[in-house]
Amino acid sequence: MRTPGAGARTRELLRRPWVQRAVRAALAAALAWQVAVLLPPPFTQYAYYAPLGAVIAVHPTVADSAAAAWRTVLAILLGFGLGVTVHRLTEQALPGALTIALIVALAIGVEQWRVLQEHASWVSFAAVLMLTVGTAADPARYAAAYAGLTLLGAAIGVMVTTVLFPPMQLTAAVRAIATTRALLARHLHGIAGGLRGGALPAPGEWVRPRRDLDAALDRMRAAEAVVERARLANPRARRWGGTAARVRQESRALDRVAVLVDDLTTLVAHLPPDRRGIDRVDGGTGWLLADALDGLARVLRAAGSTDGGDDAVREAGAALRRLTALLRESAAADDEGFVALGAVAVGMYRSLDTLRGRSPTVDA
């Protein structure tokens, strides 16, 4: 008897992009093979090219699948045409090794055509394949069979991607956002703790946390870009459009918060030793800044939760108002550190504004 835990794990596994792609690719390859073997000669002789086209066309999004299909077939046809043309022109004039070298060099030149994008390498592959396999038989027949069956398989791959739980890639994006949010919150808590304890790390000690955060931000941006592409030609786009828009909104908000954290880290970590006591400004700025940072970190952690999010926003807003009031009343307006702290306070207000609301939760 299947337990609820096992069912939940199965659903969680099926939400993983690589598992979904494996299911779609396997089904598309099987369907492409079944269709190809029913075709008349000479296509049945090369039926295995149809599953190849199906696998090539199964991508994380419907738009990427369609683009991969036509760009790959175009690259293959260009390679075949180049291979046949060069072979016939040099068959009597050049030895085989030089002919292959010339074909590869020309193919790589053709691959620079931007339209082909990441599928450009199929040009040189198809050109050499035509020279080594296709020219031994009827080149036109081989090209028609190869390209035609690849296109057939690719069309099936696009169809399967469109019909079989067409991915919106929201789960991966939400996870990337949650990871980035947690890193930002931990970073803010660390800076706040250092401000209170007077034991701030040296500038070089921020390198690894910043590197981890940069990597998380890159993954988050990439995941958001995939979600945007996934909305194109996707029958599920209308249903999940609101969630996709919130993913975009929170991703951009975290990007802005990351800029703030980076600026704040630079400000605090690079102050000379006699300026590390930021609370010298009217005797309390460092502590109030730490409270504001902790408040912003709590907002980051509370995003997406069902409880406590509004309280975290109110507490962070109150801490920022206390910091702003102290800065306004301070007589140190001409102090370089004071000006920087004022800029940080403004940036934190803007970041708090962008973080209001709740993080999207999805099951797609």
Residue spans per domain, the chain: 4-163, 170-354
Range from 72-76, 110-114, 293-297 carrying the lowest mean pLDDT: 293-297
Distance (Å, rounded) from C-alpha 115 to C-alpha 74? Answer: 10
H-only helix segments in 198-237: 207-230
**Closest of 29, 28, 118, 35 to residue 71, by C-alpha:** 118
pLDDT at residue number 274: 44
Number of H helices, E strands in the chain: 13, 0
| Cβ atoms within 10 Å, residue 239 | 12
The residues, ordered by sequence, that sit 6+ positions from 183 with a Cβ below 8 Å of its Cβ are: 209, 212, 213, 216
User: Which of 261 and 40 is assigned the larger pLDDT?
Assistant: 40
Is residue 168 within 8 A of residue 236, CB to CB? The reply is: yes
> What tens digit of pLDDT does each residue of 133-167 get?
755 567 788 888 888 899 999 999 988 888 776 55
Q: How far is 47 from 72, CA to CA, in rounded Å?
A: 18
Rounded to an integer, what distance in angstroms lies between the CA atom of residue 218 and that of residue 90? Answer: 48
Specify the residue for token string 């079989």: 164
pLDDT at 332 over 70: no
* Predicted pLDDT of residue 188: 84
Percentage of the residues of the chain whose pLDDT score is greater than 90? 18
- Burial of 329: CB neighbours in 10 Å, binned 0-12, 13-18, 19+: exposed
- Which of the four pLDDT bands, split at 50, 70 and 90, describes residue 364? very low
Q: What is the mean pLDDT of residues 14-39?
A: 87
Residue 44 pLDDT class (50, 70, 90 cuts) = confident
DSSP type of residue 156: H
Q: Which of the pair, 35 or 296, is modelled with greater confidence?
A: 35
DSSP state of 164: S
d(CA 233, CA 64): 10
Residue type for 226, please?
A: V
More confident residue, 350 or 109: 109
Q: What is the residue-averaged pLDDT of the chain?
A: 77
Write the class of the CATH domain 170-354: mainly alpha
The reported pLDDT for the residue numbered 330 is 65
DSSP secondary structure code for residue 16 in this structure: S
Burial class (CB in 10 A: 0-12, 13-18, 19+), 284: middle
> HSE (CB half, 13 Å, CA atoms) of 203?
7
**CB contact set of 13 (below 8 Å; sequence gap of 6+):** 19
Higher pLDDT, 282 or 23: 23
Most confident of 34-38, 133-137, 167-171, 253-257: 34-38
Q: Give me the residue label for tokens 């630079």.
A: 266
Q: SS3 of 231, please?
A: coil
Residue 136, helix vs strand vs coil: helix
Token pair 């199964």 is at which residue? 58
The dihedral built from the CA positions of residue 342, 343, 345 and 350, taken in this order, carries a sign that is positive
Radius of gyration of the chain from Cα atoms?
29
- How confident is the model at residue 116, as a pLDDT? 93
Q: What is the mean pLDDT of residues 273-291?
A: 57
Query: Using one digit for the tens of pLDDT, what is the confidence trace for 193-211?
Result: 877 776 665 656 666 777 8
Residue 357 corresponds to which tokens in the numbers above? Answer: 């609301």
Q: How far apart are CA 341 and CA 296, in angstroms?
A: 15
In three-state secondary structure terms, 235 is coil
Structure tokens at 66: 């369609």
Question: How many residues are given for the chain?
Answer: 364
**pLDDT interval class at 363 (50, 70, 90):** very low
Identify whether the C-beta of residue 99 lies closer than 8 Å to the C-beta of residue 90. yes
